[in-house]
Amino acid sequence: MHSIKFLDQPPRFLFFTGKGGVGKTSVACATAIRLADAGRRVLLVSTDPASNVGQVFGIRIGNQITAILAVPGLAALEIDPQAAAQLYRDRIVGPVRGVLPDAVVKSIEEQLSGACTTEIAAFDEFTALLVDSALTADYEHIIFDTAPTGHTIRLLQLPGAWNGFLEEGKGDASCLGPLAQRSRLILVARAQQATLREVARTHEELDAIGLSQQYLVINGILPADEAAQDPLASAICAREQQALQTIPDALKRLPCDLIELKAFNLVGLPALRQLLTTAIPVTIHTEATSIAIQAPSLSILVDDIAKDGHGLIMLMGKGGVGKTTLAAAVAVELARRGLPVHLTTSDPAAHLSETLSGALAHLSVSRIDPHAETERYRQHVLTTKGAQLDAKGRALLEEDLRSPCTEEIAVFQAFSRIIREAGKQFVVMDTAPTGHTLLLLDATGAYHREVSRQMLSTTTHYLTPMMQLQDPKQTKVLLVTLAETTPVMEAVNLQADLRRAGIEPWAWVINNSVAAATVHSALLRQRASNELSEIAAVATQHAHRYALVPLLKEEPVGVERLLDLAAGNA
């Protein structure tokens, strides 16, 4: 049987972490089966908001330990992070409801609506399992699908930071210290340079707080023998090999396992048992040599955008879905039509702005450095809000400023200097903030509420930044996703988040679609077939309008390739 490094002498706790769509749940489930098949008693715990553990095993699991009868020795538990977060908010907000003004209560609720709170609430439930040893004593291994981030773990270590958690003594070093000693953290990634850079940051952040037993799994690598007779497959193989050869230094020291891309969906025991084995022959169940799919291209969406002559175009989506490239493609397509466009990006790999610089009439490009903007914002908050705090309060504020929301706010404040230009030209913004972050922005939200209050008794026309974002004639939000289960679910959650802020996404863009490309490889044809249900769900359930962008042979860098991308030329 194929030797897997992260399964070599496994400790009691195995934590899987990584971005949506990299295959965390599949690898966690396959690991649980492998250990149970070896005669171990295993508990699999998922706190993934898009958890499909039950679907993978073909049974209903939910919020109680459930035996997987088809795999002796294996049990599973799905913690619903949204429900856990709601109970958590109720515990904190309940006592002040009716005591404090409604606006203050609403503000507290929004502070507790972010991803960090959801992680903490889910982790709170999980640590209850660890503390209540009667529930978990029988299990030799506990596998945790979707580990908390370093930021969340540091919050749990801060004294007095999260009252509900700490009152019961679950969040102190006595719990987390021994846990770190008996834990192995598995970072799951794909063979893509941007994804690997992000995983390197995660590795360093978790290593800095003492979670040093880390392993790297690079999942979904296209087998080299698929490249024959298929130019697209050949190009993908070359890109993946390049990413593996230029892996960040921080990751080179980690034990690493490579898992090949499978043609089949990872649902059911036979499929999962094959995930962690060496490559085996697979029967491809598809009659057609190619899959014909008719869907709007990005340039068709740009036709509608161009009608207004100016406006703000914001691209949103989780990491790794291609927001920066699509922002550049939209900007280039608008400029090609003779419309004035300012593309502003926070992409740390500024190759797009270098490629575009001076290369196209009507297009200007600016780049914002997220690190510089975040540091400037942190220092401003520490010297103003932090000046009056004691050491404990300042420690909490400093940790709060390490939140992903902080970078979003800082970058958005830098972007907002450019937003005003959208009244007379197109401004295309890469990496826009989430609805939750927009609601936290004092500069936008508080100003909006104050102006609204003052203007109630007048007929004066006024406009605040928040109103501009909420007006579809002035701002169009494009949600970017991939034709895979988890990225689509994450985009659905992001859409709900934006709606809470009064912002309705204008369109969805499904990027890097195999179904929209021309493929000959049997494995890629099967992957294309697997995408169809996700594309249909976006087209019929989630989006008002959408576009499908094919997976490309060449990296979409430079004006010509970006125009090809917008036109849907694979």
pLDDT tens per residue, range 224-273? 889 887 999 999 999 999 999 999 999 999 999 999 998 767 767 777 78
Residue predicted with more confidence, 395 or 158: 395
Alpha-carbon gap, residue 37 to 35, rounded angstroms: 5
CB atoms near residue 496 (< 10 Å): 11
Alpha-carbon gap, residue 162 to 117, rounded angstroms: 10
Residue predicted with more confidence, 294 or 494: 494
Strands in 415-558 per DSSP E: 426-429, 475-482, 507-513, 546-550
For residue 440, the model assigns a pLDDT of: 67
- Whether the CB-CB separation of 368 and 415 falls below 8 Å is answered with yes
Domain boundaries, the chain: 5-275, 298-370+407-455+462-567
Q: Which residues of 296-327 are buried (b: 16+ CB within 10 A; e: fewer)?
A: bbbbebbeebbeeebbbbbbbbbebbbbbbbb
For residue 34, the model assigns a pLDDT of: 94
Q: Is the dihedral of CA 124, 113, 116, 388 positive or negative?
A: negative
Q: Decide: helix, strand or coil at residue 145.
A: strand
Least confident of 189-193, 309-313, 349-353, 541-545: 349-353
Q: Decide: helix, strand or coil at residue 402.
A: coil
Least confident of 69-73, 132-136, 265-269, 357-361: 357-361
Q: Decide: helix, strand or coil at residue 477.
A: strand
Nearest-5° Cα angle at 374, 370 to 377: 145
- Whether the CB-CB separation of 71 and 269 falls below 8 Å is answered with yes
Tokens for 264?
A: 């089949």
Strands in 79-213 per DSSP E: 141-145, 183-190
For residue 354, the model assigns a pLDDT of: 60
Amino acid in the structure at residue 555:
E
Please give the C-alpha separations between residue 241 and each of 192, 223, 315, in angstroms, as whole numbers.
9, 11, 29
Q: Band of the pLDDT at 293, cuts 50, 70, 90?
A: low
Alpha-carbon gap, residue 198 to 193, rounded angstroms: 9
Strand pairing category for 66-67 and 74-78? antiparallel
For residue 359, the model assigns a pLDDT of: 67
With tokens 């930071």, the residue in question is 161
* Residues 458-487: tens digit of each pLDDT: 444 434 567 778 888 889 999 999 998 888
Q: Stretch 527-535: mean pLDDT, rounded?
A: 92
Q: Decide: helix, strand or coil at residue 228.
A: coil
Strand partners, 77: 45
Res 12 pLDDT > 80: yes
For residue 568, the model assigns a pLDDT of: 79
Phi, psi of 81 (to 5 degrees): -65, -30
Q: Stretch 174-202: mean pLDDT, rounded?
A: 79
Which residues are annotated as catalytic? 21, 23-26, 48, 486
Q: In this structure, what is the dihedral angle of CA atoms 531, 534, 539, 545, given to the nearest 10 degrees?
A: -90
For residue 41, the model assigns a pLDDT of: 97
Alpha-carbon gap, residue 367 to 347, rounded angstroms: 7
Least confident of 52-61, 173-182, 355-364, 529-538: 173-182
Q: Stretch 283-301: mean pLDDT, rounded?
A: 64
Q: Band of the pLDDT at 291, cuts 50, 70, 90?
A: low
Q: Stretch 516-523: mean pLDDT, rounded?
A: 89
For residue 348, the model assigns a pLDDT of: 55
SS3 sequence of 305-335? HHCCCCEEEEEECCCCCCHHHHHHHHHHHHH
Phi, psi of 380 (to 5 degrees): -60, -45
* Residues 333-390: tens digit of each pLDDT: 999 999 999 998 876 555 555 656 556 888 888 888 888 999 998 898 888 888 888 8
Q: Decide: helix, strand or coil at residue 18.
A: coil
For residue 179, the model assigns a pLDDT of: 62
- Whether the CB-CB separation of 432 and 321 falls below 8 Å is answered with no
Q: In this structure, what is the dihedral angle of CA atoms 299, 302, 303, 309, given to the nearest 10 degrees?
A: -150
| CATH match for 298-370+407-455+462-567 among 3.30.750.24, 3.40.50.720, 3.40.720.10, 3.40.50.300 | 3.40.50.300
Res 172 pLDDT > 60: no
Alpha-carbon gap, residue 416 to 228, rounded angstroms: 49
For residue 542, the model assigns a pLDDT of: 97
Q: Which of 176, 144, 146 is nearest to 158 (CA)?
A: 176
> The pTM is what?
0.81
Q: Band of the pLDDT at 569, cuts 50, 70, 90?
A: confident
For residue 469, the model assigns a pLDDT of: 80
Res 47 pLDDT > 80: no
Write out the H or E segment, with its range, that includes residue 390. Answer: none
Q: Stretch 388-408: mean pLDDT, rounded?
A: 81
Q: Band of the pLDDT at 178, cuts 50, 70, 90?
A: low
Res 427 pLDDT > 90: yes
Q: Stretch 201-223: mean pLDDT, rounded?
A: 89
Query: What is the share, in percent, of the chain residues with pLDDT greater than 70?
Result: 81
Query: What is the share, in percent, of the chain residues with pLDDT greater than 90?
Result: 31
CB atoms near residue 250 (< 10 Å): 16
177 burial type by CB count under 10 A (0-12 exposed, 13-18 middle, 19+ buried): exposed
Q: Which of 222, 157, 210, 165 is nearest to 185 (CA)?
A: 210
Helices (runs of H) and strands (runs of E) counted in the chain:
25, 15
Q: In this structure, what is the dihedral angle of CA atoms 71, 73, 78, 84, given to the nearest 10 degrees?
A: 170
Tokens for 228?
A: 């024959």
Least confident of 151-165, 231-245, 376-390, 554-568: 151-165
Q: Band of the pLDDT at 50, cuts 50, 70, 90?
A: low
Q: Band of the pLDDT at 544, cuts 50, 70, 90?
A: very high
Amino acid in the structure at residue 193:
Q
Alpha-carbon gap, residue 82 to 88, rounded angstroms: 10
Tokens for 41?
A: 């008693």
For residue 160, the model assigns a pLDDT of: 45
For residue 284, the model assigns a pLDDT of: 37
Res 450 pLDDT > 50: no
For residue 381, the model assigns a pLDDT of: 86
Alpha-carbon gap, residue 81 to 149, rounded angstroms: 15
For residue 169, the model assigns a pLDDT of: 42
Alpha-carbon gap, residue 166 to 250, rounded angstroms: 33
| Architecture of the domain made up of 5-275 | 3-Layer(aba) Sandwich (3.40)
